[in-house]
């Protein structure tokens, strides 16, 4: 398939137990690149890879041996796990460029595209090049690219730092290969999956890696993963040397339709979710619906909660579309998914364009159900209750609060409950949850939307429309709880 350009590619994992033998290493020499077989041998369209580092077979000289007939000598690969609960990933990264749908986010010099395609991770760098051209430089930065945001990027010795987690590392390696073939120096940094990586200690380690590279204001940060990876990597990009350009490559449905769009980045405080953060728009978002086939069922359903939310808050017709396409949603049909993701992104972009920094209150509508949800996540312990699960419960509670306030009738809540249940989401707090109403209210007061300790809620007035209310008595909230 030809030679790979002699660019430097490096991989490192923060939490790998054996620092002397990293999960994989990449040689600088073009003829001895050590890489995952699904990246270099991409002509093999179906490869099953284990996600756990221990599933990699180590060979002599700290390189990785390959089962006979699987890949050419000198490559690294993972084999299907024979033990443990690691879910194998079926990678089908297309070599030919696939048709795509584009959603534009118009924010002046911070405008960007959301590209939605199917089987296109190996073409990410091509889109980054196009985004660079749109910003004013045909070679990603001889003179003008991002001049109002990041200064000019060089056309040689370009650096891209990819941040991912261990669960989706194969996808990140495909993206890394895309950048390498476009003549970028790349570094792949792997963090632990889950909400526990959205904390200052992990961010500090990411800063350390950027210092070691060394990164400068022209270094591109590429987040390849779910919401945790996007939030943490985006926060690092927003704060390191006062701002690095970054690209979102979300790999979960939740990140596709929510966290990757709109520029909110941040990490958790032990007492409250997303309490530490910034607004930092990406230069582009690349969504490959093919990777959703590797998501565990629970993670996939979690993302559907945010999709349903958009129908409740902004588009009753879209809500009806979801009701009418339950089979497609549950079976992850590409056509249904592409429409659901594109419509969700368009609806969110419409709001962000009008209230990028949450100054008018309009953007707050996107937090429907989240005042309850964030409290539940914190009380359960981050990661115990998935974000989408908490949002599903929170939407039902917020709708019931709206009922109590006389804003809607019970049928609006009932349709939400029916749709959420039909896609396998919870609609009430977990069995065994011992949080009191006072516990929940205490967490709610830490919510970003509260002002001077006063609770504010996003409540529906009809299906497809919500409003912000700051006059809800705590007694009504307790009655719902």
Catalytically active residues, by annotation: 242, 264, 306, 348, 358, 363, 367, 370, 374, 387
Q: Are 371 and 455 in contact (CB under 8 A)?
A: yes
Residue 417 to residue 423: CA distance in whole angstroms: 10
Burial 313-328 (b: 16+ CB within 10 A, else e): bbbbebbebbeebeeb
| 3-state class (DSSP) for residue 466 | strand
Closest CA to 298 of 223, 371, 385: 385
Q: Which residue bears the tokens 């179906």? A: 46
Pairing of strands 246-250, 284-288: parallel
CB 88 within 8 A of CB 80: yes
253 and 341 in contact (C-beta within 8 Å)? Answer: yes
Token look-up 């704060």 returns 239
What angle is formed at CA 415 by the lines to CA 461 and CA 464, rounded to 5 degrees?
A: 35
Best CA proximity match to 402, nearest among 372, 429, 379: 372
Distance CA 227, CA 388 (A): 11
Task: Say how far apart CA 315 and CA 97 lie, in whole Å.
Answer: 32
Report strand pairing: 246-250 vs 220-225: parallel
Please check whether residue 15 is in contact with residue 192, taking contact to mean a CB–CB distance below 8 angstroms: yes
Instruction: Give the pairing of strands 184-191 and 158-165.
Output: parallel
DSSP 84-114: SSPPPEEE---SSPPPEEEEEE--GGG-EEE
DSSP per-residue string spanning 213-280: TT--TTPEEEEEESHHHHHHHHHHHHHGGG---EEEEE-SHHIIIIITSSSEEEEEETTEEEEEEEE-
Joined tokens for residue 240: 């390191």
Within 13 Å, how many C-alpha atoms sit on residue 444's CB side?
24
162 has which bridge partners? Answer: 188, 222
* DSSP codes of every residue in 266-294: EEEETTEEEEEEEE---SEEEEEGGGGGG
Sequence-ordered list of residues with C-beta below 8 angstroms from that of 56, at least 6 positions apart, any chain: 23, 24, 50, 64, 76, 77, 78
Element (H, E) at 188: strand 184-191
Question: DSSP letter at 426?
Answer: -
């Amino acid at each position: 398939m030809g030679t790979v350009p002699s660019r430097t590619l490096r991989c490192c994992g923060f939490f790998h137990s054996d620092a002397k033998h990293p999960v994989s290493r990449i040689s600088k020499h073009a003829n001895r690149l050590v890489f995952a077989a699904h990246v270099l041998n991409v002509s093999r369209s179906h490869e099953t890879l284990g996600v756990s580092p221990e599933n990699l077979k180590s060979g002599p000289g700290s390189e990785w041996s390959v089962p006979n007939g699987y890949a050419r000598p000198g490559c690294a690969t993972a084999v299907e796990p024979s033990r443990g609960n690691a879910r194998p990933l079926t990678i089908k990264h297309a070599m030919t460029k696939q048709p795509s749908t584009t959603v534009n986010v118009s924010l002046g010099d911070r405008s960007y595209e959301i590209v939605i395609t199917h089987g296109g991770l190996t073409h990410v760098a091509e889109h980054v090049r196009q985004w660079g051209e749109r910003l004013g430089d045909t070679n990603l930065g001889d003179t003008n690219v991002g001049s109002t945001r990041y200064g000019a990027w060089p056309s040689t010795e370009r650096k891209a730092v990819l941040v991912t987690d261990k669960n989706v590392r194969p996808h990140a390696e495909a993206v890394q290969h895309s950048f390498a073939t476009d003549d970028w120096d790349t570094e792949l940094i792997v963090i632990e999956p889950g909400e526990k990586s959205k904390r200052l200690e992990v961010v500090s380690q990411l800063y350390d890696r950027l210092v070691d590279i060394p990164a400068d204001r022209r270094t591109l940060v590429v987040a390849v993963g779910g919401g945790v990876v996007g939030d943490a990597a985006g926060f690092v990009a927003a704060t390191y040397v006062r701002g690095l350009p970054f690209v979102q490559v979300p790999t979960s449905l939740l990140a596709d339709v929510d966290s990757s769009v709109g520029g909110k980045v941040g990490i958790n405080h032990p007492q409250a979710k997303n309490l530490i953060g910034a607004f930092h728009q990406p230069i582009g978002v690349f969504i490959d619906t093919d990777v959703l086939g590797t998501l565990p069922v629970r993670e996939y359903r979690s993302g559907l909660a945010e999709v349903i939310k958009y129908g409740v808050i902004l588009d009753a017709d879209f809500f009806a579309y979801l009701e009418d396409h339950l089979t497609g949603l549950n079976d992850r049909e590409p056509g249904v998914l592409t429409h659901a993701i594109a419509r969700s992104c368009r609806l969110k972009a419409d709001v962000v364009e009008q209230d990028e920094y949450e100054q008018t209150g309009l953007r707050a509508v996107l937090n429907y159900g989240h005042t309850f949800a964030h409290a539940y996540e914190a009380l359960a312990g981050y990661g115990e209750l998935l974000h989408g699960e908490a949002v599903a419960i929170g939407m039902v509670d917020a709708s019931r609060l709206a009922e109590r306030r006389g804003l809607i009738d019970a049928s609006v809540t009932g349709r939400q409950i029916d749709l959420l249940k039909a896609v396998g989401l919870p609609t009430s707090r977990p069995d065994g949850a011992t949080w009191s109403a006072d516990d929940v209210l205490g967490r709610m007061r830490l919510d970003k939307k509260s002002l001077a300790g006063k609770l504010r809620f996003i409540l529906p007035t009809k299906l497809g429309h919500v409003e912000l209310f700051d006059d809800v008595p705590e007694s009504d909230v307790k009655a719902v709880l």
